[in-house]
Amino acid sequence: MSVRHSNGVALGQSSKAQFALRRACAAAVRHADCVRDSRRHLLEIVKTLYIGRLLPKWVTQGTEMFNQKPERGIEFLQEHGVLTTPLDPHEVAIFLRENPDLDKKMIREYICKRSSRGEDEDGGPSVLGAFADIFDYAGLRIDQALRLYLETFRLPGEEPLNFRGM
């Protein structure tokens, strides 16, 4: 069986060896790419498992930091990949609402600050707006809706913060 070039001409003995060598090299490159992709995929799996194991620890530490100084707690959670960078207000709102270990006074302090309300940015979404939007007010009377919203943070405190929170 003779090996033919793509233009139909039969290849000589040295050409056959070159052709076989090219095929072997191409196969090796494909194999190396597969190994590289497999290695990359394996590293991603290990990283995901490692982060998954550390995630509860980081959330706990971030919660403790948030309860002392809210901005520092949020920064810590961003640094460790629990919250995205740049900060997604909806993601922060879910964290604030779903984390039962957060101090309600600190939640109010954080969502009512000017920087988290989006006033420093040009019309971007605010944490306060996202926090108010994650509640399902459908079918509730106004007093029930207010109770649902206000039970997630502690209202007494500075009058301006209370006004902003409302």
Please report whether residue 40 resides in a domain: no
Show which residues are catalytic: 158
Tokens of 45: 């799996």
Please report whether residue 62 resides in a domain: no
Rounded to 10 deg, the angle between the 70-79 and 13-68 helix axes is 170
Please report whether residue 146 resides in a domain: yes
pLDDT at 74: 94
For 107, the domain range is: 86-165
pLDDT at 135 over 70: yes
pLDDT at 84: 87
- Note the pLDDT tens digit of each residue in 53-79: 677 888 899 999 999 999 999 999 999
Please report whether residue 142 resides in a domain: yes
pLDDT at 65: 97
pLDDT at 103 over 90: yes
Count how many domains the chain has.
Answer: 1
Contact in structure between 107 and 95 (CB atoms under 8 Å): no
Picking from 110, 119, 118, 117, the residue whose alpha carbon sits closest to that of residue 153 is 110
Q: Is the dihedral of CA 43, 45, 48, 49 positive or negative?
A: negative
Please report whether residue 63 resides in a domain: no
**Mean pLDDT across the chain, nearest whole number?**
75
- 106/67 Cα distance (integer angstroms): 6
Higher pLDDT, 25 or 99: 99
Mean pLDDT within 150-155: 80
Tokens of 151: 């039970």
pLDDT at 52: 61
- 44/38 Cα distance (integer angstroms): 10
Contact in structure between 83 and 74 (CB atoms under 8 Å): yes
Please report whether residue 53 resides in a domain: no
Mean pLDDT within 138-162: 78
pLDDT at 149: 87
